Amino acid sequence: MVLFGRLPLSLTFERCHDGAIDVVLAKSMSPLENNWSEYSRFFTALLVILDPFMAIPILLSLTDGYSAAERNRVARTAALTVAAVLVLMALLGETLLHWLGTSLGSFRVGGGIVLFLMALAMLQAQIDRVRTSRQEERSAATRASIAVVPIAVPLLAGPGAMSTVIIAMHRSTAPYHAAMVIGIIALVCLILWIVLRLARPIGALLGDIGLNVLNRLFGLILAAIAVEVIANGLKQLFPVLGT
């Protein structure tokens, strides 16, 4: 063979043999298995960003005087609304970026900054105003359904969650990728619904101190995720940084 013509026979055989093994291994592993760590990171990031434990005090405050059935209905509506918003952003987010003329690199940097601001607020055990404003919280009592505003949007499905979903959706064009992203969104929203449904017993069990500790832990994880998102965005905008 011309490719290995100048190599010793034993070395040619070893390299061919290694190459054959590599090909066999690559074929035996599906693309889904190769990207499993990426999907695991997306699941963790989305769960941390939504942070259902952060919503417990607000949910209990806004549903004070509600019956158990009414509170469960609010939890279900909020989880379904979050799922619908995030799936919509996953399917239409890239089109929206093209329409706005925004590159994925700049969107990653902007989204990473939003995530970092959220992380700082979580580390201080505060409700960050990137998610929801005081006016939205005060007006919530006059709305027909507080499950949609402000609990689902923008408290849970805020800019951070939306940008994370859009970035994750853009990572691959494989046919299975969209299904995996939507499946992970559904799984996270299922966990969100369970936590919100059990908001009263969880709040009573953990108390304010326990919830604050969880929020700070999630904030620390989110800060690390935000730095990585910003770094990847800067490398995409300025390729020289990746060398």
pLDDT digits (tens, 9 = 90+) for 112-171: 999 999 899 888 876 655 555 556 555 555 444 789 988 999 889 999 999 999 999 988
Comparing CA positions, the residue from 158, 168, 86, 164 lying closest to residue 127 is 158
What contacts 63, CB < 8 A, 6 or more positions away? 70, 71, 74, 146
Residue 150 to residue 237: CA distance in whole angstroms: 34
Q: Is residue 226 part of a domain?
A: yes
Comparing CA positions, the residue from 195, 214, 235 lying closest to residue 104 is 235
Residue 194 to residue 98: CA distance in whole angstroms: 36
Q: Is residue 81 part of a domain?
A: yes
Q: Is residue 19 part of a domain?
A: no
Tokens of 215: 């929020």
CA torsion through residues 49, 50, 52, 57, sign:
positive
Q: Which of 26-30, 122-126, 197-201 has the lowest mean pLDDT?
A: 26-30
Q: Is residue 58 part of a domain?
A: yes
SS3 at position 62: helix
Are 199 and 71 in contact by the 8 Å Cβ rule? The answer is yes
Residue 205: other Cβ atoms inside 10 A:
10
When divided into structural domains, the chain yields a total of 1
Residue 140 to residue 160: CA distance in whole angstroms: 21
Q: Is residue 17 part of a domain?
A: no
Q: Is residue 24 part of a domain?
A: no
Tell me which of 96 and 136 has the higher pLDDT. 96
Report the percentage of the chain scoring pLDDT > 90: 54
Tokens of 171: 């990572």
> Domain residues for 159?
32-242
Comparing CA positions, the residue from 97, 116, 115 lying closest to residue 106 is 97
- pLDDT higher than threshold 90 for residue 229: yes
Q: Is residue 48 part of a domain?
A: yes
- Which pLDDT does position 140 carry in this prediction? 52
Average pLDDT over residues 35-44: 92
State the pTM of this model.
0.78
Tell me which of 11 and 64 has the higher pLDDT. 64
- Which pLDDT does position 135 carry in this prediction? 60
Residue 236 to residue 229: CA distance in whole angstroms: 11
Indicate the burial class of 97 (C-beta count within 10 angstroms; 0-12, 13-18, 19 or more): middle
The count of C-alpha atoms lying within 13 angstroms of the C-alpha of 181, restricted to the half-sphere facing its C-beta, is 24
Instruction: Name the average pLDDT for the chain.
Output: 82
Distances (CA, A) of 171 to 12, 165, 226: 37, 10, 17
Q: Is residue 238 part of a domain?
A: yes
CA angle in degrees (0–180, nearest 5) for 176-179-182? 150
- Which pLDDT does position 33 carry in this prediction? 55
